Amino acid sequence: MKIRKLFGILFALLLMAGLLSAGQTVFAAETYTIEVKRAHEDRGTVTGGGSYTEGTTVTITAKPNTGYHFGWWTDKYGCIVPNAGATYTFPAKGNAAYYAWFCTYSVTVTTDGNGTASSRQRAGDTGSTIELTYEPNDGYMFKEWQVISGGVTVENNQFDMETANVVIKAVFEKIPETVYKVTVTSKGNGTASAYPASGTASTEVLLTAYPDEGYRLKAWEVISGGVTISNNKFTLGKADAEIRAVFEEIPKTCTISVSCASDSGGTVSGGGEYKKGASVTIKAVPAAGYRFDYWTNQYGEKISGAGTVYTFTASQTSGYTAWFSCMIGDVNLDNKIDATDRMILARYLAGWEGYEAKITNKKAADIDGDGDITAKDRMLLARYLAGWTGYDTYFK
């Protein structure tokens, strides 16, 4: 920020001295070198290399010689450039090198119209491996690869080139609407039912328990079907489902358990054994740098209107979890660390108007914990979001 101010002062002095007009540019844009080469000198030609100003459009072209076909571009690291055809256009962002690969035989991928498909390489030499990908339309699933010509064998979505041009077709089929059965049993002390008792995949099923006198539903056990039950409901998958209702005797006392959603967010108190009808008071005390958000019950449901001190009447064994929040790096307190936080922090440090108010939590913006928000904090956040090794330690 000091450097920006110095340049501003220098610019103003030059204007006052008449050495610089208001329309002149002080700094020239960066210029990058784009190299374009061929993997095989005798198989084709390439154009488009040269010097480019930062942000300008670069177009490189690979033209195969007679008897050859364009296969793919690789970057200077040897990685295939995704979705790059013989003519490849991109903005100049830095020095770069691209290599055009020309091959003996072409690869053409088509579909039956119920999805999309492509090959990573657009051509290949005898013995080279070609990788295939596909994406079915909604309501369809992949069925098979059909070899129209070329005499190759496709396994695990790839094949080895033979001695001819290859044409491959991706075939899709409709996902069948299978009806699955729901069976509900119990271990005694009550009965249970499901509605509906059958349905296709994605059908919502409601479970109802009928406990005997003196008993209550303890849990639903998923015997088969791989479903997840929440609030006595689940969604059918692609299999029959068997659910078992487990009942338990209603206790004369209630066990109230309290916990924190995270170890460092704060402390809780008030749990224990209570007689039914007794008054229970549980408390949540947030740690420094954290704030109390809400309580949830044993089912994960938020308790409306419950503050740090929550009083209620004991009626059954239950559990309560206190949730606190303050994420280092989450400067706008949206419960995530992302590019928006990086942008807010950068503009705040650059002195943009209104961005001081966007730093909702100064502690969260002080990444290195030195008590001040500086360019170092911006750098730590940027490198963490970019996936640099070792920087995640600042955000745990």
DSSP assignment of 162-214 equals -SS-EEEEEEEEEPP--EEEEEEEESSSEEEEEESSEEETT-EEEEEEEEPTT
* pLDDT tens digit sequence for 110-121: 999 999 999 999
Please answer whether residues 118 and 133 qualify as being in contact, where contact means their C-beta atoms are separated by less than 8 angstroms: yes
The C-alpha atoms of residue 363 and residue 348 are separated, in whole angstroms, by 14
| Longest CA span, the chain | 96
The predicted structure's pLDDT at residue 275 = 87
Q: Residues 167, 125, 80, 71: is their CA dihedral positive or negative? A: negative
The predicted structure's pLDDT at residue 1 = 40
Between vectors from CA 36 to CA 102 and to CA 71, what angle results, nearest 5°? 20
Relative to beta strand 105-111, strand 123-124 is: antiparallel
Provide long-range contacts, Cβ within 8 A and 24+ apart, for 369-373.
373/345, 373/348, 373/349
Q: What tokens appear for 213 in the block?
A: 């006198």
State which residues of the chain have pLDDT below 50: 1-7, 11
Give the CATH fold of the 31-103 domain. Answer: Immunoglobulin-like (2.60.40)
* pLDDT tens digit sequence for 284-314: 998 765 778 899 999 999 999 999 999 999 9
> What are the extents of the domains in the chain?
31-103, 105-174, 179-249, 253-325, 339-395
* pLDDT tens digit sequence for 210-223: 999 989 999 999 99
The predicted structure's pLDDT at residue 250 = 84
The predicted structure's pLDDT at residue 92 = 95
Which amino acid is it at 15?
Answer: L
The C-alpha atoms of residue 116 and residue 330 are separated, in whole angstroms, by 39
The predicted structure's pLDDT at residue 2 = 44
The predicted structure's pLDDT at residue 147 = 96
Please answer whether residues 339 and 347 qualify as being in contact, where contact means their C-beta atoms are separated by less than 8 angstroms: no
The predicted structure's pLDDT at residue 357 = 86
Backbone angles phi, psi at 343, to 5 degrees: -65, -45
Q: What tokens appear for 390 in the block?
A: 């070792």
Provide long-range contacts, Cβ within 8 A and 24+ apart, for 154-160.
157/131, 157/132, 157/133, 158/129, 158/130, 158/131, 158/132, 159/129, 159/130, 159/132, 160/127, 160/128, 160/129, 160/130
pTM beyond cutoff 0.95: no
